[in-house]
Structure 1
């Protein structure tokens, strides 16, 4: 069914891979479906693949039987509207809960391993570097060396770079500079988070580092009719750091409690 959805979408393999990467999924997730397998060949589809189909903006794939980690098989049934207010919001084929991946990152965005930054110097020198944050939290700038950037905002990083770049490029200074620089985020990393409890497809998901609690609920298929819509908990390092009342969002559009997620969040 996934192969059929991809063929009907009219998207090229390159477009599919680009959209997957932009949504925080592995770019090669659908390569098996984009290959030369016979049209009738059955390929296994897990929760990640099913969620990624909706992230591409394609109609969801309905499966009669849904395997779960307990080893039991439960019937999904037909996609009938729920009588519980708010449950159907997450079942729609939409991207309303996916993070905006174009444009600059928010001012409070903190860099982490996997982010890709671009450093541009103009004036006395004309240079541009694409710098990926390593697993240890460093970027390596030619002629400058390693700079620790993990958990820094872009404004904080600019303060650090004034000092580090100024040691190599004399024109980089705060007053009367002859060399100017700019640092920005070209690609954001993916975080692995865990969605458990009364959701349609509990499990581990890789989502964009710009993703929030609502994003995680959406990729997990939304909440079930038994869920407490007024108490969605976010746990980090074993402690509850935020609670979200879904009705605050659904009735008033209040997203103040919709916290951005980090790797390992539950």
Structure 2
């Protein structure tokens, strides 16, 4: 409860506080110190708190009892009880005193319109319509930026490095606990044991090393079940890595993320990708050389993050400009603009769009293709339409993963950049009349007819 109130205080600042420049917003790690500095610049704040207490009607004993019940020191607000001494202003409160005021249920000493700007790491959804490009809005929606999570468990394959903080606990013949930070050179210094090189080791590998090193000083440390001294080593805080996210992202630049952060962490930190991005081939470069390529469709369509590698200090995440891009509209589950990899065809596009809707006509698919400049002639649209017929497909058992779940065979038509695919839907039940057109026409079929 007390921690929640303290967090609220970081966001609520007295109405007399000066507005900070929007370009100098303190990050979360500096929010507390920035708050204290702002409070020191407002000496009249103590008098405001004394007035709040006097207006509450609470006695000194009642205030002390409530503070103690809320986990605060009973005498935390004693300096603000009673009348002020002549010529002596009340002391400037700190964050704990402001939190205590809220814990007492007194009126807040801040207004919602005047808050201390604190970088909370939250990306706000931009105003305006959503993007027609599939996947762009996933990164734009309001979400946390995967801020540096410096505490918590680490996976078994996590490799230690400079900046990590370890905790070593010995129990049995001795009862000791040490907090050990990995130095820039990759060592930890254990009292009475000396330096131990830990850089690039996993916790399991470090335990093997410590059995030998601790055993020289503590005779009870051994691998046998009869060991009289046991130890445990764990990671208390992980280091922060500086990575670079450039290319087609909303905010290219350098970012500090947790050493557990991945490519997706970097993309979220940079505000997501732009509409020009190629989401099928996000590159990771380490020491100037290509290291890996991430297909964001694995994450967006299947939730698969197996290729989302962990980043290291100095890594560069580069999002290139898109290649082949095709739009699909009509009776499909997810009408949008999709990026296609080389070799992907019409069935891959329909599969990415979630397959056909239940009201899809399933007779044909129309593909509108942009003609080369030399072939456009007098065509006003500069396009040609291709009707791709669909055939009913009989399947035995379950359909293959990724196949459009429609029961029709989609021809493997190669698609080109700028193509637009239209899937016709069944006529609406509310439609009145239809006219069938057949013979020497470009698109024979059934069309709705309206009077006039």
Post-superposition Cα deviations, 1:129-188, rounded to whole Å, max 9, x if no partner, equal 010111111111000011010111000000000000000000001112110000000011
Contact 1:54 1:60 in 2 (8 A): no
Contact 2:151 2:238 in 1 (8 A): no
Indicate the residue corresponding to 1:197 in structure 2. 247
Post-superposition Cα deviations, 1:73-100, rounded to whole Å, max 9, x if no partner, equal xxxxx45311111111111222385676
Pair 1:82-2:136 in alignment: no
Q: State the TM-score, normalizing by the size of structure 2.
A: 0.46
Larger RCO (CA within 8 A; separation ≥ 6): 1
1:12 to 9, 13, 20: 9
Indicate the residue corresponding to 2:206 in structure 1. 157
3-state SS, counterpart of residue 27 of structure 1? helix
Indicate the residue corresponding to 2:30 in structure 1. 28
Contact 1:169 1:179 in 2 (8 A): yes
1:209 to 256, 259, 263: 259
Unaligned runs of 5+ in 1: 1-8, 15-24, 63-77
**Equivalents in 1 of 2:209, 2:128: separation in Å?**
53
Distance 1:150 1:202, change over 3 A: same
1:221 to 263, 271, 274: 271
Pair 1:134-2:183 in alignment: yes
Whichever of the two has the greater Rg, that structure is 2
Which stretch shows the higher mean deviation, 128-137 or 27-36?
Answer: 27-36
1:243 to 273, 293, 301: 293
2:233 to 158, 183, 194: 183
Give 1:195 shift.
Answer: 0.3
**Equivalents in 2 of 1:80, 1:165: separation in Å?**
62
**Equivalents in 1 of 2:230, 2:188: separation in Å?**
19
**Equivalents in 1 of 2:307, 2:298: separation in Å?**
9
**Equivalents in 2 of 1:150, 1:257: separation in Å?**
24
Give 1:53 shift.
Answer: 2.5
Contact 2:164 2:181 in 1 (8 A): yes
Indicate the residue corresponding to 2:169 in structure 1. 120
Distance 1:79 1:152, change over 3 A: farther
Distance 1:215 1:129, change over 3 A: same
Backbone CA RMSD of aligned residues: 2.9
Give 1:29 shift.
Answer: 5.5
Indicate the residue corresponding to 1:60 in structure 2. 124
Contact 1:53 1:60 in 2 (8 A): no
Post-superposition Cα deviations, 1:59-79, rounded to whole Å, max 9, x if no partner, equal 6397xxxxxxxxxxxxxxx45
Which stretch shows the higher mean deviation, 33-42 or 92-101?
Answer: 33-42
